[in-house]
Chains A and B, each alone.
Chain A
Amino acid sequence: MTQLTDTHNNTNDGLQTLFKNLPGMAYRCINLPHWPMSFVSEGCEALCGYKSQELESQSILWGEFTHRHDVAEVDRQVRAAAYLGQPFEVEYRIVPRTGPHKWVWERGRVVDKLDDGTAIIEGFITDITSLRHAERMVNEQREQLAHVERLNTLGEMTAAIAHELNQPLTAIAMYSQSAKLLAQQGQHEELLQVLDKVAQQSHRAGAVIERMQAMSYQSSHQQDEINPTVLLREIKDLAEIEAQVRHFTIDLKIPQYLPLICCDPIQIQQVILNLLRNGMQAMQTNQCAPGSAIQLSALVDQQQLWINVIDEGTGIEECMADKLFLAFASNKNTGKTAGMGLGLTIGKAIIEAHGGRLNYRNLSSTGAHFYFNLAVAKPLSK
């Protein structure tokens, strides 16, 4: 602080005005535990409830405000950046003098070193609590919307199927009861006709079910030769959005060349996206540290392309193992994220419609490994 006022006397007033108008707090501190401040701008009071003089006198230390859950992470990032001499950006919670905790965003870098080699850091801290709230609301709404959408589709499908099936069932009930009467009355010719009609109606009911299945996998007839590298990169980009929200990363591991596969790319991407989502949800349940990675990889073995999704989540419980692929069995039965449990069932059906198998195993450490195979369209020509 002394340095600042001494050397920049002329511009001091201008700087003060500038600092006053900042939406946050500019600081200079020594990279020691709890970061003793040698200078903080006026914004400090709005941020933590203490005057700049109180921090500058070092009777209060900035590090004491940091939320205890975030202390380790902030410390790690700042230390690493200081060691490498790189700028750092961290988001963490602080507990101000009064009121609930706040989310802050901090950016800083080493500007100088003391004689003993301790780094001097300058940076800026600003309140992002409202931004965080908005983000959380958007996420919650997005999740609710996805849930409602799934429910709607399911509800509509059920109603349509019920109607289609109830017609032949009504006819069958009437025909068969009539047949009974005709048999008792010995009207054999009419009886035979009615029995034929019963058979026709049961075929009709069967056709409804077949059509329903065909509808679900309609596009799998329109299979194209697809480059799995492109497919996997696309899906990684798509899932990245969700990963960022959850503070995880997606680790895509694929060999340089992958052979073409014959598939419906949208459906296969749906399956992979679903696996990645499930994995990330499990990782969140398992309270994986921010920055943890979910792995998406591919390899070719005996004319089969194997796609793997490996998470560091809670793994699959014994009791769920048997019914994991049944509709409505869900591992995510807590609160708002309770799933409908259709994802894996549909995924399995899609992969099997492509002639592959979707399976999983629990990892010995932690997490689950889901994998499936698809036939290679053309062998790689070297």
Chain B
Amino acid sequence: MSQYVFIVDDDPAVRDAISLWLGCHHYQTLCFENAIQFTQQFTTNLNGCIIADIRMPGMDGLELQAHLNNIGCRLPLIFITGHGTVPMAVEAMRSGALDYLRKPVNEQQLLHQVAEAFATDQAHSQQQQLALARHTQFNSLTKREQQVAALVVDGCANKMVAAELGISDRTVEVHRASVMTKLKVKTVPELVKTYLTITT
């Protein structure tokens, strides 16, 4: 998984300087001169973090943040601003920004924040991958296996499952073993836990 720092600032010198500074620390960067340009090229499978100015012509930083929240983008967002107000900072942080740095930005602080953002992003995407893997596992169950799993999780004994589904006890046992293997769980409590994380 490769992570990028997406720099969104209308000032070319600021973009270039931040890009160079982070580049010196082996970060891969991509620059955008306005928020709209960034949203046009943005896809949800990107990894890394965003550094955005708050005051930009067209779509400003807070609008960008709202837009990204709407489309379910979970990239950590670091705001930098020339003369931000307190209410602006409050709104940014409340809407989930990682940090709010004032220009002239302290370069060490920026490095620190980018490192933290990457860690947050990595944790996010690991969780996502795990969830994705579980979904794949769950989807590999046959329709009957899914029915059996649901009833077992509900607390039904094999006999009750058999009666409910109108199949033999023996068949239930086979389906149940298959469910345990496909979902890579060994005990019923494990099955319940995995099942619930997938379906909720």
Contacts and interface: CB of A to CB of B under 8 A. Distances in A.
B14 A182 contact: no
A83 to B, nearest CB: 67
Contacts, number: 67
Interface stretch (B91-99, B100-108, B189-197): B100-108
Interface in A174-231: 174-175, 177-178, 181-182, 194, 197, 200-201, 204
B83 A170 contact: no
Contact of A162 (B16, B83, B106): B83
B80 A170 contact: yes
B124 to A, nearest CB: 27
Contacts of A200: 13
Contact of A204 (B13, B16, B21, B24): B13
Interface residues of A, number: 22
Most buried by B among A172, A177, A200: A177
B83 A163 contact: yes
B74 interface: no
A168 B13 contact: yes
A162 B82 contact: yes
B198 interface: no
Contacts of B21: 174-175, 177-178
Contacts of A154: none
Nearest to A177: B107
B37 to A, nearest CB: 19
Nearest to B10: A167
A168 to B, nearest CB: 6
Dominant secondary structure of chain A at its interface with chain B? helix
Given A162-B82, A166-B82, A167-B103, A174 B18 contact: yes
A174 B107 contact: yes
Contacts of A194: 20
Contacts of A167: 11, 13-14, 82, 103
A48 to B, nearest CB: 57
B17 interface: yes
Interface in B22-59: 23-25, 55
B6 to A, nearest CB: 17
Contacts of B25: 181
Contact of A171 (B14, B55, B102, B106): B14
B13 to A, nearest CB: 4
B13 A171 contact: yes
B24 to A, nearest CB: 5
A337 B103 CA distance: 36
B13 A178 contact: no
A25 to B, nearest CB: 59
A194 B21 CA distance: 11
A159 to B, nearest CB: 5
A181 B27 CA distance: 14
A198 B2 CA distance: 31
Nearest to B15: A171
Contacts of B55: 163
B24 A163 contact: no
Contacts of B107: 173-174, 177
A191 to B, nearest CB: 11
A235 interface: no
Contact of B17 (A175, A181, A182): A175
28 contacts: A162-B82, A162-B83, A163-B82, A166-B103, A167-B11, A167-B82, A167-B103, A168-B13, A169-B103, A170-B14, A170-B17, A170-B18, A170-B80, A170-B104, A170-B105, A171-B11, A171-B17, A172-B17, A172-B104, A173-B17, A174-B20, A174-B105, A177-B21, A177-B107, A178-B20, A178-B24, A181-B24, A182-B24
Which 9 pairs across A and B sit closest by C-beta, in order of nearness? Answer: A174-B17, A169-B104, A163-B82, A166-B103, A171-B13, A171-B17, A174-B21, A166-B82, A170-B103
